[in-house]
Chain A
Amino acid sequence: MFNRPGQELNFGEVFPAKYDRRHDVSIVVSHKFSDRFDIAGTWVFATGNTGTLALQSFIALQEPEYNRYGQIVSTYENLDYISGRNNYRFNSYHRLDLGMNFHKKKKYGTRTWNISVYNAYSNNNPFLVMPTEDYDWNPATNMYEVRKKLIQVSIFPIIPSISYSYKW
Chain B
Amino acid sequence: MQINKIYHKIFASAMLILLMASCEKEIKFNGDIVQPMMVVNGLITPDSTIRIHLSKSRFFLSNNEKTEDIPNAAIDIYINGQAKGKMQYKESGIYTSSIRPSINDTVKLVIADTDIQGVQSEVVIPRQSILQSVDTATQTIRNEIYEFDGYNMVPTGRYSYMKELTVKLTIKDPPAIENFYRLNIKMRTQMHYPDTTYTWEGGGETHYADTTVVWEEYEYFYLEGTETPNESLLGFIDIINSSAYSYTITDEFFDGKDKTLKFKFLYTSPKIGDSTGSEEDGENYYPTTFRTPDSQSKQLTVNLQSISKEMYLYFKTKENADNVFDTFFTEPVQIYSNIKNGMGVLGAYTNKEIKIELP
Interface residues of A (CB under 8 A from B): 1, 6-7, 10-11, 52-61, 63-64, 66-70, 74, 76, 79-85, 88-89, 91, 122, 124, 126-131, 145-155, 157-160
Q: Does B99 contact A (CB under 8 A)?
A: no
User: Apart from A60-B41, A80-B60, what are 9 other A-B pairs with CB-CB below 8 Å?
Assistant: A59-B41, A60-B344, A61-B53, A80-B321, A81-B343, A149-B26, A150-B26, A150-B28, A154-B24
Q: Does B148 contact A (CB under 8 A)?
A: no
> Is B215 a contact partner of A58 (Cβ separation < 8 A)?
no
- Tell me, in angstroms, the Cα distance from A149 to B63 when the chains sit together: 9
> Is B63 a contact partner of A147 (Cβ separation < 8 A)?
yes
> Is B41 a contact partner of A148 (Cβ separation < 8 A)?
no
30 A–B contacts from the bound complex (CB under 8 Å): A56-B36, A56-B58, A56-B59, A57-B60, A59-B55, A59-B67, A60-B41, A60-B345, A61-B43, A63-B245, A63-B246, A64-B184, A66-B218, A67-B218, A70-B215, A70-B217, A76-B41, A81-B343, A84-B334, A91-B30, A127-B23, A131-B61, A145-B63, A146-B65, A147-B63, A148-B61, A148-B62, A154-B23, A154-B24, A159-B19
> Is B313 a contact partner of A7 (Cβ separation < 8 A)?
yes
> Is A79 a contact partner of B34 (Cβ separation < 8 A)?
no
Enumerate the 8 nearest inter-chain pairs by beta-carbon distance, A residue then B residue, closest first: A58-B57, A56-B57, A58-B39, A70-B216, A154-B23, A152-B27, A82-B334, A61-B41
Closest to B330 in A: A52
CB-CB under 8 A from B320, the residues of chain A are 1
**Cβ of A1 to closest chain B Cβ, rounded Å:** 7
Q: Mark B24-45, 1 if CB is under 8 A from A, else 0.
A: 1111111100101101010100
Closest to B35 in A: A56
- Tell me, in angstroms, the Cα distance from A10 to B335 when the chains sit together: 10
Contacts known (A56-B37, A157-B19); A128 close to B318, Cβ less than 8 A: no
Q: Mark B1-38, 1 if CB is under 8 A from A, else 0.
A: 00000000000000100110101111111110010110
> Is B24 a contact partner of A152 (Cβ separation < 8 A)?
yes
> Is B23 a contact partner of A11 (Cβ separation < 8 A)?
no
Q: Does B315 contact A (CB under 8 A)?
A: yes
> Is B34 a contact partner of A56 (Cβ separation < 8 A)?
yes
> Is B335 a contact partner of A82 (Cβ separation < 8 A)?
yes
**Cβ of B26 to closest chain A Cβ, rounded Å:** 5
CB-CB under 8 A from A128, the residues of chain B are 328
CB-CB under 8 A from B63, the residues of chain A are 145-148
> Is B41 a contact partner of A82 (Cβ separation < 8 A)?
no
Q: Does B259 contact A (CB under 8 A)?
A: no
Closest to A154 in B: B23
Contacts known (A69-B215, A85-B331, A89-B31); A158 close to B23, Cβ less than 8 A: no
**Cβ of B171 to closest chain A Cβ, rounded Å:** 20
Q: Does B193 contact A (CB under 8 A)?
A: no
B residues 322-349 touching A (CB-CB < 8 Å): 328, 331-336, 343-345
- Tell me, in angstroms, the Cα distance from A152 to B62 when the chains sit together: 18
Q: Does B316 contact A (CB under 8 A)?
A: yes
> Is A151 a contact partner of B25 (Cβ separation < 8 A)?
yes
Partner of B24, one of A61, A68, A151: A151
**Cβ of A45 to closest chain B Cβ, rounded Å:** 17
Closest to A122 in B: B18
> Is B217 a contact partner of A82 (Cβ separation < 8 A)?
no
B residues 69-125 touching A (CB-CB < 8 Å): 92
CB-CB under 8 A from A81, the residues of chain B are 37, 57, 335, 343
Contacts known (A128-B328, A149-B61); A64 close to B343, Cβ less than 8 A: no
